[in-house]
Every structure is written in structure tokens, then in C-alpha cells.
């Protein structure tokens, strides 16, 4: 940990000898900032800059009792949603300790984790440095990111799996069950099946706990192909909010989406990442369905390009993205009045992985 899909990579961990009782600890970290410009802002600015990461990672990766601690400041920019300041992101989402857990790892195929865990759902990780692109995508906006709970892991041969009981969208109510199975057919090919959902009902919401999504179920199928100089990762997503599970939802509502992510290594220091995606939702205006996108029954597409440069600890990358809402409800789109159907963004991010 932290898990990373590339193209960025952390430096070799610094090792600390914590004595005979604890053993050796590994320390890594990231310090970075970003700046953006966009058209049709809503509640955010047309351009701004902020810290994207000021985080340190401390972990013990051997022995029966292991642990991981992630601490510091972070921002989580996502397509199609307004930017938040880093201060507001930390206070509104997962605090200054966004992830941290204890892992019991006896010899064999099983292990057990408990604490603030990264979600099993989706193909994209939470923090900017972990991913191919700076911003998270439209499908990621339907997924949870950090779960408080317990997770059982099993791995043997080409098969690995995890089963978790947690609080879903960081609701502090432990009523979500999620599971993941990965089959690694070869060094170049793997397929992953993920499912999760609320086994009960959660009647409150916050920025980190959206009401409809936290009462939903979600399913992903993710395929990953890795070659010498490029990676391709298509995945499919389906979510479902049952009728009567949340306030005002009298008709079951679903989203269906597909995305393709990829990176190409152009030189040892330069890579180019791209993402294309589409997501749609069911229902019609006034029929009691939930608004899961840009109005009931709406859909959206996005394209993103992210060239990246990394030389040892230093990295810099730029990003250009476009989002378009389809069958958008009046007042639910972009701009100060919600009447714009498209948004274009440009970002740059630079920093150090240490």
C-alpha cells in the first residue's frame, strides 16, 4: 500500500527499525499541488490552485500482525462535480487519517483486515497519485471510496478474493456487504468481478455519504490487459437503488455504464493515459425515480487525456477532459444556473514521490 495503477510510482521505502517487538517499518510519501481552469463553473471557481497531496504512508508488511497508516492532506477532484478546497475535502470526507488498518496475516492463504479500508469496488483508486488520470471519472462518482469495517482475504494460485462488512459510503452504519473475486489467467490478463450493496437502510446523508448511492447495490466487471509498454482496462458497471429505500424514491432506479482506461509508455519517463466512458440512468421526470446524474433519466459521457512525466522522485502531468450531459434535466447541468450541458477542464499537477 498504497495501491497504484500507474504510471506514477513511489520511491523505494525508507526503512525504520522500531525494535524487536515491532520490527522494521516502511515509510513513503507524496507531496504535490495542482492548478485548474474550466468553463461553466457552478459552485466553484473558473480557475484555482491547491495542494493535491501532502501525505505520508507508514506500514509494517511482514509478520503475523501488520498495519498500514495513511495520514495528511488530500484533494479528490472528479469529473462532472465542483472542485472543493483541500481543507474542505479533508474535513468533509475522511479526515486527516483517510486510511489505516491492522492486518492479521498467518501463514497460508487467508488474512484479515480491520479499520479504514480502501473500497473493493471499481477500477479507479481514490487519490490522484494512485491513478492514470488526475481526476476520477463519472463511473467512480457512483462508487464508494473508503469503508470502515472488516475484510477477509483469500489468495491461492490464480485466484484471489475478498469479502468485507463495512459502512458503505462512510456512513458509520455497518450495513454494507461487498465482495471481490479476481482470476489472473496469465501475467498479462486478469478479470475481476465485484459486487456490493446496502443490506439495510440508511436514512441520512452528507458529502461523503450520498443518500441514494449509499442505499444502492453496485456491480462491476473489470478486465485488465498488461503489455510491455501499455495497459488496457475496460470495465462495466451497474447500480440499482430499490424503490422505497430512500426518501422520495417510489420507483426503482438504475445506472449502467462502461469505461475504457489505458496507458502507453512512450519513453522511460513519459507516458500517456486516456479514459473514455459513458453512463446512463433509468426513469423519467415525475415518475418517482432517483436523480443519480444530471436529472432523472439523464446520461453523460467523458473523455480524458493525461500525459505524465516522472524522473525519480519528481513528477509532472497535465490533463484535458470534457464531459457532456445527455437528456439533461433543466437546472441540473453545469454553470451557475445548471443550464449548460458540457464542461471542459484543464489541469496540471506536479510534486514528489518520496
Q: Alpha-carbon distance 131 to 123, whole Å?
A: 9
Q: Which CATH number covers residue 326? A: 2.40.160.10
Does residue 4 sit within a domain?
A: no
250: exposed, middle or buried (C-beta count within 10 Å: 0-12, 13-18, 19+)? exposed
pLDDT per residue rounded down to tens, the chain (354 residues):
788 888 998 888 898 887 777 888 999 999 999 999 999 999 999 999 999 999 999 999 989 999 999 999 999 999 999 999 999 999 999 999 999 999 999 988 999 999 999 999 999 999 999 999 999 999 999 999 999 999 999 999 999 999 999 999 999 999 999 999 999 999 999 999 999 999 998 989 999 999 999 999 999 999 999 998 999 999 999 999 999 867 778 999 999 999 999 999 999 999 999 999 999 999 988 888 999 999 999 999 999 999 999 999 999 999 999 999 998 988 899 999 999 999 999 999 999 999
pTM assigned to the model:
0.92
Residue 129 cell numbers, joined: 497519485
> Which candidate, 230, 322, 215, places its Cα nearest to that of 6?
230
Q: Alpha-carbon distance 107 to 118, whole Å?
A: 23
Q: Give the three-state DSSP class for 21.
A: coil
- What local confidence, expressed as pLDDT, does residue 23 receive? 81
Does residue 76 sit within a domain?
A: yes
Q: What angle do CA 143, 146, 152 make, to 5 degrees?
A: 100
Does residue 1 sit within a domain?
A: no
Query: Which residue is associated with the grid cell 509494517?
Result: 60
302: left (phi over 0), alpha (psi -120 to 50) or beta: beta
Does residue 160 sit within a domain?
A: yes
Cis-peptide, bond into residue 283, ω within 30° of zero: no
Does residue 326 sit within a domain?
A: yes
- Output the CA–CA distances (angstroms, integers) from residue 56 to 25, 93, 144, 251, 354, in the order listed: 13, 18, 22, 45, 9
Does residue 5 sit within a domain?
A: no
Residue 36 cell numbers, joined: 485548474
Q: Alpha-carbon distance 82 to 128, whole Å?
A: 16
Q: Give the three-state DSSP class for 190.
A: strand
Domains identified in the chain, total number: 1
- What local confidence, expressed as pLDDT, does residue 258 receive? 98
Does residue 268 sit within a domain?
A: yes
Q: Which domain holds residue 91?
A: 14-353
Does residue 6 sit within a domain?
A: no
- What local confidence, expressed as pLDDT, does residue 245 receive? 66
Amino acid at each position: 500500500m498504497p495501491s497504484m495503477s500507474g504510471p506514477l510510482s513511489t520511491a523505494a521505502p525508507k526503512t525504520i527499525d522500531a525494535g524487536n517487538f515491532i520490527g522494521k517499518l516502511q515509510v513513503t510519501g507524496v507531496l504535490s499541488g495542482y492548478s485548474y481552469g474550466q468553463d461553466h463553473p457552478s459552485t466553484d471557481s473558473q480557475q484555482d490552485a491547491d495542494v493535491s497531496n501532502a501525505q505520508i504512508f507508514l506500514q509494517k508488511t511482514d509478520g503475523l500482525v501488520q498495519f498500514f497508516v495513511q495520514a495528511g492532506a488530500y484533494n479528490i477532484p472528479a469529473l462532472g462535480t465542483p472542485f472543493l478546497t483541500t481543507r474542505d475535502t479533508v474535513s468533509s470526507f475522511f479526515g486527516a487519517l483517510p486510511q489505516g488498518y491492522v492486518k492479521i496475516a498467518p501463514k497460508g492463504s487467508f488474512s484479515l483486515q480491520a479499520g479504514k479500508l480502501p473500497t473493493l469496488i471499481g477500477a479507479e483508486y481514490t487519490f490522484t497519485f494512485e491513478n492514470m488520470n488526475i481526476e476520477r471519472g463519472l463511473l467512480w462518482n457512483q462508487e464508494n471510496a473508503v469503508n470502515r469495517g472488516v475484510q477477509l482475504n483469500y489468495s491461492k494460485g490464480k485466484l484471489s478474493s475478498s469479502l468485507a462488512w463495512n459502512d458503505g459510503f462512510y456512513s458509520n452504519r455497518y450495513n454494507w456487504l461487498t465482495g471481490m473475486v479476481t482470476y489472473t489467467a496469465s501475467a498479462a490478463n486478469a478479470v475481476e468481478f465485484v459486487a456490493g450493496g446496502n443490506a439495510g437502510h440508511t436514512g441520512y446523508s452528507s458529502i461523503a455519504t450520498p443518500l441514494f448511492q449509499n442505499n444502492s447495490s453496485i456491480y462491476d466487471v473489470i478486465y485488465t490487459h498488461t503489455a510491455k509498454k501499455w495497459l488496457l482496462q475496460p470495465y462495466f458497471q451497474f447500480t440499482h437503488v430499490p424503490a422505497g429505500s430512500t426518501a422520495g424514491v417510489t420507483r426503482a432506479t438504475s445506472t449502467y455504464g462502461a469505461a475504457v482506461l489505458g496507458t502507453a509508455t512512450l519513453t522511460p519517463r513519459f507516458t500517456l493515459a486516456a479514459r473514455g466512458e459513458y453512463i446512463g440512468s433509468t426513469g423519467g421526470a415525475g415518475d418517482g425515480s432517483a436523480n443519480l446524474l444530471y436529472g432523472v433519466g439523464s446520461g453523460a459521457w467523458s473523455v480524458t487525456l493525461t500525459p505524465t512525466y516522472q524522473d525519480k522522485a519528481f513528477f509532472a502531468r497535465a490533463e484535458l477532459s470534457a464531459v457532456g450531459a445527455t437528456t439533461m434535466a433543466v437546472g441540473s447541468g453545469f454553470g451557475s444556473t445548471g443550464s449548460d450541458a458540457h464542461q471542459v477542464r484543464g489541469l496540471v499537477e506536479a510534486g514528489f514521490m518520496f
